[in-house]
Amino acid sequence: MFIGTNDGKKREPSTSSSAQWPQSCRQFGFPEILLATENFDESLVIGHGGFGKVYKGNFIDGSCILVAAVKRLDSMSNLGATEFWAEIEMLSKLRHCHLVSLVGYCNYEKEMILVYEYMPNGTLEDHLHKFGTPLSWLQRLKICIGAGRGLHYLHTGTGIEFGVIHRDVKSSNILLHESWAAKISDFGLSRIGPTNQPTTYVNTLVKGTFGYLDPNYFTTGRLTRKSDVYAFGVVLLEVLCRKRAVDKSLDEEQWGLATWAQEFITTGNFKHIVDSEIRGQISPKCLKGFVRIVDKMFARQS
């Protein structure tokens, strides 16, 4: 791809990171989206799920190409216009180094498209369960700390007038920057709540991902910050064990990672559930502290 210049010469544009995008959320025209994704070329797909597909998009901005992640909602998806506009509204108000930034959106006829800053290292789920080279313990710890800070920002409403309950915290919704900084993504199911009442709940239909659902929320329909904290505890277990949140190879009553690991945590035999690739990298004191935090996240809230 080349861009013409005033001197008549053609030059190849330089590629710039998503950090160069302006802070304000902009509305893209559908032709811009088609050009950036080469008509939704399958070779540019970098992710997919129940919502549809995510493409790597190259947007021309003067003499630069700005890279972004383009999420195209499938018309057959369970996520509809409500979640689409909810995510735009939410991310337009939230700014934090550990939250993914929304660059803009496109709403054209039946097309609902969200454009985010591009995260070159994919998702935490990718590196735990799909890619061959395992993350080191220090890398995993850095990712957990970053995601935890992002979640704390959402709950406390730092810099904004309300707190946010994410409602779908999971390893596939934690994106990784080129520096391995963690960024929480996917706010379509999020709900707003007061910042000064930690136990305040929102009555809502139960939504989220099996394996990460807080049992209290699942049985009562009362959504609280604790619902996010429980889900993040499952993520921390994934990081420690490198096992999926749901493992159907186990007995049915132990499909959930939290249920399976609880016995080891309660008896103090948690060293046996640590990913073999990192056992030699964790000091006993660090492991004990990490597991204590996870155990507190699973504690039932009065």
Reading the block at residue 220, the tokens are 């009562």
CA distance 145 to 142: 5
For 36, residues 6+ apart whose C-beta sits below 8 A from its C-beta are: 57, 58, 59, 68, 70
71 labelled binding-site residue: yes
Q: Taking Cα atoms as reference points, which of 82, 85, 76, 120 lies closest to residue 105?
A: 85
CB-CB contact of 29 with 106 (8 Å): yes
> Which residues, at least 6 apart from 237, have a Cβ–Cβ distance to it below 8 Å?
243, 257, 258, 261, 294
b/e sequence 152-185, b meaning 16+ C-beta within 10 Å: ebbbebeebeebbbbbbbbbbbbbbbeeebbbbb
Q: Which of 168, 186, 214, 228 is catalytic?
A: 168
The answer to whether 168 is a known catalytic residue is: yes
CA gap 9, 2 in Å, rounded: 10
Query: Which residues make up each annotated binding site for ATP?
Result: 71
Catalytic residues: 168
